């Protein structure tokens, strides 16, 4: 884990209230994996005091051929992210990372199903890129993406440029299927023959309500699934116990999202 002062390469609005920030941080980028996150200090003042956690959206390479840039996809929801949205190219930003455990990729994957809800799509782009580059036996890669409305559906073109099949659901029905992303998951699993077991994997990120339903559906199908939990956290070191989650590991055990996660096997979580 590194604490570095990084230069902002760009910070652009990609949809109303959603921004994509690129930062030059080779120390973090060269060691980062899809699903890990970074802690951002958004101000040099005492307010806001605590760092904000942001999952790594994309890991980019410079002209040297080595990973040197990290992108953050974020939504303006409060004072901290409002400050971030006003930052400009060449501004400096204090980062701590990479933090946590990311997605584990089985190179024998033949079918990969990515499920994202709203800003939960953020880690799935770097994951898709990594799956494509590492899984030589891959036959099918699909993204099921949900949001409240059209403005909450992000990164469709980026995924399609990778050759990923994208299906969309919005709650207001203005884009794609009218309903929830879990509807798309049910339809997908029931409309095709898939290979249960090690060759078919599901990866998901989004609100807890979505992840709970995804976990239930996947468990019934016997498919391996990893989920990335979203949680407020203060230290990112496992010391403050502000991001604990109940798990089935060895009984009823509390784990820390920042240190043990944020990625967990879906069958490991005890949903309240």
CATH of the domain at 154: 3.40.50.80
Q: Output the CA–CA distances (angstroms, integers) from residue 156 to 4, 124, 146, 196, 211, in the order listed.
A: 31, 11, 11, 27, 21
- Domain count within the chain: 2
**Domain boundary residue among 64, 99, 134?**
99
Say if pTM beats, i.e. exceeds, 0.75: yes
What integer is the mean pLDDT of 114-135? 97
Co-location of 8 and 119 in the same domain = no
Among 43-52, 78-87, 181-190, 208-217, the minimum mean pLDDT is found in: 43-52
Note whether residue 244 is domain-resident. no
Task: Looking at the structure, tell me whether residues 146 and 49 fall in a common domain.
Answer: no
Report the percentage of the chain scoring pLDDT > 90: 80
Same domain, 90 and 143: no
Share of the chain above pLDDT 70, in %: 95
Model pLDDT, residue 19: 98
Please indicate, yes or no, whether residues 217 and 117 belong to a single structural domain of this protein: yes
Measured CA to CA, the distance from residue 229 to residue 192 in angstroms comes to 28
For 131, 189, 197, 238, 239, the CA distances from 222, given in Å and listed in that order, are 21, 11, 7, 32, 35
The domain boundary, picked from 73, 99, 125, lies at 99
CATH of the domain at 62: 2.40.30.10
Q: Are residues 217 and 116 located together in one domain of the fold?
A: yes
| 115 and 218 together in one domain | yes
Q: Tell me which residue range forms the domain holding 203.
A: 111-230
158: in domain: yes
Assigned domain for 246 exists: no
pLDDT digits (tens, 9 = 90+) for 234-260: 887 888 888 999 998 766 789 999 999
Q: Which of 195, 215, 230 is the last residue of a domain?
A: 230
243 falls within a domain: no
């Amino acid at each position: 884990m590194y604490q570095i002062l990084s230069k902002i390469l760009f910070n652009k609005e990609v949809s109303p209230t959603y921004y994509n920030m690129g930062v030059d941080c080779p120390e973090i980028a060269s060691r980062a994996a899809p699903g890990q996150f970074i802690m951002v200090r958004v101000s040099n003042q005492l307010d806001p005091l605590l760092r904000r956690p942001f999952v790594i959206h994309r890991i980019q390479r410079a002209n040297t051929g080595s990973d040197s840039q990290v992108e953050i996809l974020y939504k303006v929801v409060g004072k901290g992210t409002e400050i971030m949205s006003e930052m400009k190219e060449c501004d400096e930003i204090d980062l701590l990372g990479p933090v946590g455990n990311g997605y584990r990729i089985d190179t024998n994957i033949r079918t990969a199903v990515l499920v994202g809800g709203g800003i939960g799509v953020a880690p799935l782009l770097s994951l898709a890129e990594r799956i494509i580059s590492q899984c030589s036996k891959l036959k099918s890669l699909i993204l099921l993406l949900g949001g409240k409305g059209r403005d909450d559906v992000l990164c469709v073109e980026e995924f399609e440029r990778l050759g990923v099949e994208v299906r969309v659901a919005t709650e207001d029905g203005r884009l794609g299927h009218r309903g929830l992303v879990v509807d798309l998951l049910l339809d997908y699993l029931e409309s095709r023959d898939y290979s249960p077991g090690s060759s078919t994997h599901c990866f998901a990120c989004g609100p807890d309500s979505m992840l709970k339903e995804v976990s239930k559906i996947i468990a019934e199908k016997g498919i391996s699934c990893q989920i990335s939990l979203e949680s407020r956290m203060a230290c990112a070191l496992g010391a403050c116990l502000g991001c604990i989650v109940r798990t089935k590991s060895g009984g009823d055990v509390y784990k820390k999202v920042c240190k043990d996660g944020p990625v967990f096997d879906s069958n490991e979580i005890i949903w309240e």
